[in-house]
Structure formats: structure tokens, C-alpha cells
Amino acid sequence: MLVVISLSSGLGYRFYNQPQLDVGKVAPQTLTAPNSTHIEDVKTTAEKRREARSGALAVWVVDSQVNEQIKQHLQQLLAEGEQIREQVGKFPLIQTSVLSTATQTYLRQAPEAEWQTVLQTLEKNTKVAGLNSTQQQALRNLRIYRESNSSQALSQLLKAIAQARQRYATTLKTLNNNAITQATTIYDGSFLNLSDADWRETKIQIHHTLERMLAQGIYPGLSAINLDSAIEMQVSVSIPKTAQPVAKRLLSAVVTPNLIKDIEQTKLIAEQAAQAVEPTIVSIQKGEVIVKAGEKITQADFVLLDHFRLSQRRIDWLHLTRFTAIVGLAVAVFRLVEKRVYAKLRSSDYALIILLTLSAPLLIFLTKSFTGLPAIGLLIGSFYGTAIGGTVMGLLGILLSIGTELNWHDLIPSATSGILGGLMAGQWRFPGREALRTREELATLGILIGLTQGVVYLLVNTAIAPLWYAVLGTAVLNGLAGLLWSILALGISPYLETVFDLVTPIRLAELSNPNRPLLKRLAHETPGTFQHTLFVATLAEAAARALHCHVELVRAGVLYHDIGKMHDPLGFIENQMAGPNKHDEINDPWKSAEIIKKHVSEGLVMARQYKLPSAIQAFIPEHQGTILIAYFYQEAQQQQKHNPEIGLHESDFRYDGPIPQSKETGIAMLADACEAALRSLKDATPEVALAMVNKILKARWQDNQLVDSGLTREEMSQIAYIFVQVWQQFHHKRIPYSKS
């Protein structure tokens, strides 16, 4: 309840000062102006300027490069047309005063049977029934030619017509038989029947027509129907009628949009249009009625009511109560996710999440636009993983949209980048994925977050401002803001980690660096223990990865688990380097056990001194649990047999605990127990090694050392198998080298 009330109070601050007499509500009584005033309606002015900015017409300019491409395309098609006309030959064949154009056209393309009929009729000089008017006209013209010219001239004419017919038929067949190309769809039989003069005139006029159309400009998105209509209108007034079909096809093939938007000029005009909008001023004289009883309050009425403090602003308990219920539901969703992913959050973790969550509405209240959601998402995601980070940011975005007055076109980009940060910064919670281990990787993520915020802002605001480039500058600023928030998160992350005792993959990677002061001391003062630690870390890390545990935590925790041995290095056999055994000189199992146990208490002292996180400190006592220091306990039993008066208590020879409280510390205990035994094996088979490891693990299980760790019997078998695999990798056979 305390959390719900705290979050409701912080996230729902808009309900603290809600006007009871708001726009759209009915006035309970007639309200008059206590004084004369002239006041600007800021909201209406802003809306009008936004409309003016988004409604400004785009400035279009001709793209000279596109124009050049269109002209080259036309020139290419005209050149192909010239080649076709060269194949068919010149036309008309003779002067049209001798044979009309219609007659020459008919004679050149008439079917062979009709052509033979015309020749036979001309030769016999008889009338043939059934000839159509075109044939009769052709015969009439030929006879007139024969009468006015010699037989030789007629023979040459008929020969020229026959050759023209052959060339025409060949060319037409070539056009019809070729694969479909742009040229074959443009040029057909009607094109072949154009006179040479008409073709020359057509080429000239097509160029002029194209120049006019390009100068007027072709807009992108112009429909094909409208473009065809424009071409038809231009062609009808300048191209010879017989050539208009081919001219239309030529222009339709080459004309494409040649206008592009001048972004800078458009932005300038849009801004000028916005600035040209005069501020909306609401005026009233003293004693005049602002709104009558029973009337709906307009925006202008509300401006006056709020100015004169007549809008009755106070806490909106009804909406605040509803918002509190929504917050309660959000907290329940958070708890459900927390339990589902076994987050195991502490009180300090809840406090930090609440603190970061409440920083968002505070920033909105102070700045009216900045939310800090990218930084919050990065921090929560990197601290608590993807599930917690994504859930918190998603719920926070919803609650901010309800409880604050932030514009949605500002909230959506910020919330999107915050969710992205929460999901990607915490990807180490996914099994099989490596964590973001360096601050450089998080910095790269910060760049991605900035880009995301800028792009989403552009997309969201383009929906309300069709001239997307009018908001491009603001989108860039939003992207930079997202990047700056990410940099801020990186800057404060180490301080939050220290204050709230957090372990992140990045901090764990830094703690695992062998150049850390405490690890350097461990390697220098207790080299044997350091080597032991490295092998234990290798075993534990492999097992943790297979069981989908927190690999980075296991690695770092194991590296520090035996730092307490630095209080008395020679008290531990791995550091004695073939020298005398200190415990043989002491010859007192109680004192020896005390020395051995003391490496835990001294380790905790060192860990606190070096400010290690509590999650790392937990490995120091829990890796030993409450196990029995068996060797010295057996020594004490032997002494008691010789001197029964000696009091023997098993607790004196057991570690103080606690036993492992997590899978990670449980794995560390098992790896520590098996390290020495595995290292002692030389030529043993994997089966022998596995049997020995299983025996050690079984002893820890039967001693109830793992009851609180969460490890199962199936996982114990898996751990044993992994330990042996790692041992095999370290003890593979080598090639013997010759002594010579």
C-alpha cells in the first residue's frame, strides 16, 4: 500500500490541480469578469501555428538530372524510329499531285490479291465488278498517269510500287515478329504510313511539347489517367493529326515526374506561415459575462476563468482514486513478473526502482517535456535484467500518459527508447546470451537508443505534420537528448551500484579483472590459493553456464571466495611449497581448526574493507557452509581416546555458515570441494573421476549443505559430468618430446 500510494502521488500529480470548470463542462452558474483583461490563449495559438506549419504547401523545383534522362530516352526512341523508316524507304514514292497520298498508302499496303487484281485490271483496261472505292480510285489515278506518261514511265512506277510493297511488308513483319520491346509497342503500321514531311514535323513538335511539359513540371504521384490527359491535350494542338497516336505513345513512354521538394525552402515557408499566425487574444471588460449558467465552457471561456482563478482548481479525488487503482494493478503486474523470473529483489532494490520511477514525473513537472526514460530504462535493465527492465518501462510509459500532462508525441519516442534500453541492457537474463560486459558496449547501446528516439519522434510527428522535414530538426534534437540521457545513465551507474549494493555484469567484469588490488594481493601473497581459485572458477563457471545461472556472478564470487587465507597463507597446504607443515608444529587440532575457520571471518573483513558487493561477500562463508573440518576433527578424536577428559564438540570443527542460499554459491561449494580431488588425479579414466566427483557431491548433499541452494538431484548429476569434462580438458595427454 505504501508503494502504491507513493507512486500514485508522484505519477499522478496532474490530478492535484485539476480545474472543476474545464472545457466542455457545463457552467453551474453565471460567471462575470471581475476586471477588464486582454490575455493570450496560448493553447489555441499553438494549435493554429501547428496547423499553419503542417498545412504549408511544399515548394517543388525541377530536377535537371531527371529532365536530361527523359530527353535522352526520347532521343533514343526517335533514333529507333528513324532506323525503322530507313528500312521501309521514303514515302510518298512520287508527287502526290500524280498519285494521292491515300492512293500511294493503299497500293503500298494492299493485300497481294488486291494488288494483282489492280494490275490485271490496269493491263486489260477493262472494268471489273466488285472493286471497292479505294481500288477504283487507285485504278483511276494509274490510268490517268498512263495517259499522261509513257508506258516505260508507268512500268517504272509499278516497279517502284512493287519494291515499296516488299519493303513495307518486310518491315511490318519484323515489327510484328520481334520480341515485345518499348519500340515495338510504340511504332506500328500507322507510323509507317506517315509521310516523311509529317515525320520530320512530328519530331520537331514532340521536342517542343516535351520541353513545355517539363517546364510546367510533372508531380510525383500524378495518376496515369491524368498524365495521359495532359499529354493528349499538348499533342492535339501541336502535332499533325496523322502522327498524334505515335506522338502520344512516345511521350507516355518517356515522361516521368521531374519535380522534387525543396526541403529547406519548404521548411522556411512553413515556419513563416506559423509565425504569421497572430496570437489568439481573449478580451473582456469588467462586469461582462464570461459564461452563462447551463452553457458549455469553451476554450476562450476557460482561459478567462483560469486567469481570474474562477476555474475552481483543486485535487480531483475521483480521478486520483481511479489512477491509484491503475497503479495498484501495475504493481501487481510487476510482482507477477518478478515471481515468474525469480528476480529475488531486496528492499534496497525496490527502493531504487521506485526512486528511478519517480524521477520521470519530477523531470516532466520541471521541464514540461523531458522524461529521462532512456536513462531509467538503461539503469533498471542493466541492474535487474530484461524482464524487470522491460516491464517497469512499459508500465511507466502507460502511467505517465495517464497521470501527467506530457504530450503524447513527446512521450511515445521517449517511452520507446526507454523500453529498448530496459530490454537490451538487461539481455544477460536470457539463457545462452552473454551480458553487456563493458561500458563501451552500453555506450553503443546509448547511440542506438538516441537513434531510436529520433526516428520514432519523426514518425510520430509526421502523422500530424505531413511535411516530415518540418520536424526533422526537432527529431535530431530528440535523438541527441536520448544519447545524452544514456551518457548520464553511464555516469551515475557506478554510484548507484555502490550506494544500493548492486551487481551488474559490467561491475562483475570489472571485479573479475586480475589487476584489481585485492586479486593482485591474493596472487602475490598466496600463489597456491590463487591457482586453486582459478581452477575452482573454471569448474564453477562451466557448471553455472550449463544450468543457466548467473555466470558473471559465479566467476567473480569464486575469485574472491578464499581471500581470507591471506591472513595466514602458510596455514593452508597449497601455499606451503614443500616446506614444513605449520599444523604439525602446532600439534593442536583445535587451534588448527580455528586457523582454517578464520579464513572465512577474515575474508569477510577484507571484503567489507574493499567494499565488495554483498552478493560477492556471500560466496566467502557460503562456499564452506557448515561443513566439518574432518581431518582435524579426526585428530581431536584420536587425542580424546588417549585423554578422555578432553571435551570434544563437533561444532568447534564446523564452519559457522550459513549454508549456500543460491544455486551460484552452491555450485561454488561443490567446485571448491572437487578441485583438490580432481587435481590429484593423474592417469585416472573419466569413469573413475566421475565416480569420485559423485561421491564428494553426494557427501555434501547428505550433509544437508545444499537444502537452501535450490539445486536438484538431477542438476547435481549434471554438475558432476561437467566437472569431469573440464578436468579432462586440463589433463589431456601431451606429445612426449625426445631428450636429445
Q: Show the cell assigned to 585.
A: 608444529
d(CA 88, CA 108): 10
Q: Is the pLDDT of residue 240 over 50?
A: yes
Half-sphere exposure of 215 (CA within 13 A, CB side): 7
Q: Average pLDDT of 407-435?
A: 71
Residues in the chain: 740
pLDDT tens, residue by residue, 596-640: 889 899 999 999 999 999 999 999 999 999 998 888 888 888 888
Taking the alpha carbons of 122, 126, 127, 131 in that order, is the dihedral positive or negative?
Answer: negative
Query: Which value, in Å, is the radius of gyration of the alpha carbons in the chain?
Result: 47
Percent of the chain with pLDDT over 90: 23
Least confident interval from 70-79, 146-155, 384-393? 146-155
Name the most confidently modeled range: 97-101, 211-215, 461-465, 482-486.
Answer: 211-215
Residue 668's pLDDT is 94
Predicted confidence (pLDDT) at residue 332 exceeds the cutoff of 90:
yes
Of 590, 457, 471, 544, nearest in space to 722 by CA? 544
Distance between CA atoms of residues 531 and 558, nearest Å: 12
Are 291 and 74 in contact by the 8 Å Cβ rule? The answer is no
Q: Write phi, then psi, for 60 (nearest 5 degrees).
A: -110, 140
User: Which pLDDT band, with edges at 50, 70 and 90, does 394 fall under?
Assistant: very high
Please, what is the average pLDDT of the chain?
A: 85
Measured CA to CA in angstroms, residue 14 lies from 148, 365, 374, 431 at distances of: 107, 9, 22, 42
Cα torsion 439, 445, 446, 447: sign: positive
The H helix count followed by the E strand count for the chain is 33, 8
- Give the residue-averaged pLDDT of 88-114: 85
Query: CA-to-CA distance for 337 and 334, rounded, in angstroms?
Result: 5
489 with 378: CB under 8 angstroms?
yes
**473 within 8 A of 461, measured Cβ to Cβ:** no
Q: Which of 377, 214, 207, 287 is nearest to 35 (CA)?
A: 287
Least confident span in 37-41, 172-176, 430-434: 430-434
Helix axes 663-680, 713-730, angle to 10 degrees: 40
Q: 142 vs 102, 132, 473, CA distance in Å?
A: 13, 16, 79
Residue 428: pLDDT above 50? Answer: no
Confidence check: pLDDT of 429 > 50: no
Lowest mean pLDDT segment, chosen from 240-244, 270-274, 490-494, 541-545? 270-274
- In angstroms, the CA 313 to CA 306 distance is 8
Q: How far apart are the first and last CA of the chain?
A: 82
Instruction: Name the residue among 164, 240, 178 with its Cα closest to residue 209.
Output: 240
pLDDT the model gives residue 21: 85
**Confidence (pLDDT) at 129:** 59
